[in-house]
Structure 1
Amino acid sequence: MEREARHGTVTSPESRAHLHLADWQAAGLEAGKFFPATESGLTDPYAPDDVPNSQPPEDGRIASAGKDFAAKLDEPDARQDWHKHPVAAGKALDITWHYHAPHKTRRWNYFLTKSGWDPAAPLTRAQFDLEPIATYQNHGQPHWSADLLPEDPTIHSVTLPDGREGYHVLLSVWEVADTGNAFYQVIDLNIT
Structure 2
Amino acid sequence: MSQTKVEPQSNAQLRHGQVFEPASRGQLCVDGVNAQCPLQSWNVNGLEAGKFFPAPTANLHDPLAPTDAPNAAPPADGKIASAGQAHSAVLDEQSADRWHKHPVKSGQMLEFKWSYHASHLTRRWNYFITREGWDPNRPLSRAQFESEPFYKAELTAQPFWEHQAELTPPQPTIHELRLPQRQGYHVVLAVWEVADTGNAFYQVVDFDFS
Give me the TM-score of the superposition, normalised by structure 1.
0.96
Pick aligned residue for 2:178 from 133, 156, 159: 159
Aligned equivalents of 1:91 and 1:15: distance in 2? 18
Q: Which residue of 1 aligns with 2:5?
A: none
Aligned equivalents of 1:64 and 1:172: distance in 2? 12
Matched residue SS, 2:167: coil
Deviation at 1:77, TM superposition (A): 2.2
Consecutive unaligned residues of structure 1, counting only runs of 5 or more, are none
Q: Which residue of 1 aligns with 2:19?
A: 10
Which one-letter code corresponds to 1:154 in the other structure?
Answer: T
Stretch deviating more after TM superposition (100-109 or 140-149): 140-149
Write out per-residue CA displacement over residues 110-162 of structure 1, whole angstroms, 9 at most, x where no aligned residue.
00000000000100000000000000001111111112000010010121112
Which one-letter code corresponds to 1:124 in the other structure?
Answer: S
Consecutive unaligned residues of structure 2, counting only runs of 5 or more, are 1-7, 30-38
Pick aligned residue for 1:88 from 98, 101, 105: 105
Aligned equivalents of 2:118 and 2:11: distance in 1? 14
Pick aligned residue for 2:93 from 68, 75, 99: 75
Q: Which residue of 1 aligns with 2:67?
A: 49
Aligned equivalents of 1:25 and 1:72: distance in 2? 11
Q: Which residue of 2 aligns with 1:150?
A: 169
Aligned equivalents of 2:113 and 2:202: distance in 1? 14
Matched residue SS, 2:176: strand
Pick aligned residue for 2:52 from 30, 34, 45: 34
Are 2:154 and 1:137 aligned? yes
Deviation at 1:34, TM superposition (A): 0.2
Aligned equivalents of 2:25 and 2:78: distance in 1? 15
Which one-letter code corresponds to 1:115 in the other structure?
Answer: E
User: Post-superposition, which runs of at least 4 consecutive aligned residues in structure 1 deviate over 4 A?
Assistant: none
Deviation at 1:92, TM superposition (A): 1.2
Write out per-residue CA displacement over residues 36-78 of structure 1, whole angstroms, 9 at most, x where no aligned residue.
0000000000000000000000000000000001001000124
Write out per-residue CA displacement over residues 153-184 of structure 1, whole angstroms, 9 at most, x where no aligned residue.
0010121112x110000000000000000000
Which one has the largest radius of gyration? 2
Pick aligned residue for 1:173 from 175, 191, 210: 191
Aligned equivalents of 1:68 and 1:4: distance in 2? 16
- The CA RMSD measured in Å over matched residues stands at 1.1
Aligned equivalents of 1:131 and 1:123: distance in 2? 16
Q: Which residue of 1 aligns with 2:138?
A: 121
**Number of residues of Structure 1 aligned to a counterpart in Structure 2:** 190
Q: Which residue of 2 aligns with 1:106?
A: 123
Stretch deviating more after TM superposition (14-23 or 66-75): 14-23
